[in-house]
Structure 1
């Protein structure tokens, strides 16, 4: 993205912080790093670290999301960036990044006026010689789509590959619909214009084309056929936009495959990762 757009996203985030309200009143620090902080004119995204406290409400939401395989930081992400894309938010990772040698630039600390943050942001000067920051925790399957694979996900998935617990390959799904009645019924979970419906259709059509039985498919939180409360061991898991990514390793303890559409979209190419179990004995245990 253009640097001007990245700066606008950061200023919009500061506006939200200044307005306050829950859960933004729990934020203690905002730091920026990566290619934007180094002055790149066309950063792929803006990496920021957010340090915050948790009250009872946020803790409850965090635990509830974890129990259902959802993003436990969804409330804080929405509050910070709204519906905008382009901010890559890392929660509670300041010490980790500093230990790994990343240079972090403080943008705002609780108690400071927001004018201090805007002054610091304006002081991060463009540098035509600065390129995009190289990604850590990369494997071949992430090539070209790494901007849509958050760092915590990259860490977990590269660990699966390093352990030889799973193999991962990238797919570009065809924009087609399945034909099986059960698959078509499953699509009614979403509206006709939903990016998730398009992603689900593409995955189910891919599975049909590869003769995968639909009664073995667990689609973004629900089985295509049957009940989530049955004792069925679903062989194929499907997720969208990493909302259930914390369930991947657990799924592979009994299942064989996981398909993740990394960026569901109404019109753009549908990129997916196909994760296949290789050795269950070395899967990480929760």
Structure 2
């Protein structure tokens, strides 16, 4: 089942021009961020004599206010932005899958309690909660990942619950119940594997959302702290130098735009593939 699903998704992604573009962008940005250490420049090395150097052959993205190579900073910033996206997605997806599958499978009071909790949390602007928590907690990559992940699982939970309500009445689940198999084993062996397509779509879109939130926090100065940098913090630091060095805002902005856009496109392609399979 998993092999067929993955092959179907792979074929659909690579047969779709936008899907192929999105996949290429995501893989390219991920790979160059992982191998950022191959850059001949130190991302934190200050060279005041080279500050505000325009893009050239030696420094293809130019240098920043401290004379640091901007391309190298972009690569290392990608590590942080993409790590926040992927790791917070894992947290929110795991929580959302557990809550959604339990809520949909057991229904009744458990379902009512869990869904009312989800309704309450979704009615509160999560970004402002993140801002408040981040103001009281020492800003760090771990805190940002944890907060975004712990406040981003509600949509996944709703989607998984809806799928679980449909799957739990299928013959193989009823048969498993008749054999006396425990409820949690049924959820693990039969519910979650069949909800996997929905989980994949939710996870893809969750990464894009997490990267945007991290970028927004860093833009407001409440994200990754110096000397480390993310694309959001680099965009924030460029505000005062738009006239003097506009490229300082252009490059991180382009990377954020392409990354978020690519994950959204990939999520749409996967969702369309799965919808067509169900018709």
TM-score grouping bracket, smaller chain normalisation? under 0.3
TM-score (normalised: structure 2): 0.24
In terms of fraction of residues, the more helix-rich structure is: 2
In terms of fraction of residues, the more strand-rich structure is: 1
From the CA coordinates, give the structure whose radius of gyration is larger: 2
TM-score (normalised: structure 1): 0.24
